[in-house]
Amino acid sequence: MRHTVIMMAMMVFCAWSASASASELGDSASDRATYALTPEMEETARSRVGEKLRDEESARYYNLRGMGKEADGSVVCGEVNAKNAYGAYVGRRKFAVMPSRVIIWSDGSDWDAQDSRKWIQMICGS
């Protein structure tokens, strides 16, 4: 019984994740075309990613670009390198900023880490 409840919860979460992200993404490659960001779009993306980091002040951003058919900054992809709790830089991590969430690449082996990598690859490409 317990396993059934856990499996049902995972299925609901997966369906919710897919539907939320599908509405923010397009279905074709042309919907995921890249475009340059305005300074305001970059600042918004940096701010939203920074909220998820341990040391926002140390963050270094790379390869920021807008994704989608509309150049409105609603989906931003890029890479960030920031310090961890020990004060060392962890290396560049890919990220995706969407209206409803921010996803940062995780190297862990748990389900959430695998999910983050899957979504970033789907949203931003390789």
Percent of the chain with pLDDT over 90: 48
| Closest-CA residue to 45 (of 66, 29, 24) | 66
Q: Is the pTM above the cut of 0.85? A: no
| Closest-CA residue to 66 (of 86, 94, 96, 88) | 96
Q: What is the pLDDT of residue 98?
A: 92
Structural domain count of the chain: 1
pLDDT tens profile 46-85: 999 999 999 999 999 999 999 987 767 789 999 999 999 9
pLDDT tens profile 104-113: 998 887 778 8
Cα 110 to Cα 34, 79, 107, 113, distances in angstroms: 30, 21, 9, 5
In terms of residue numbers, what domain contains 75? 2-124
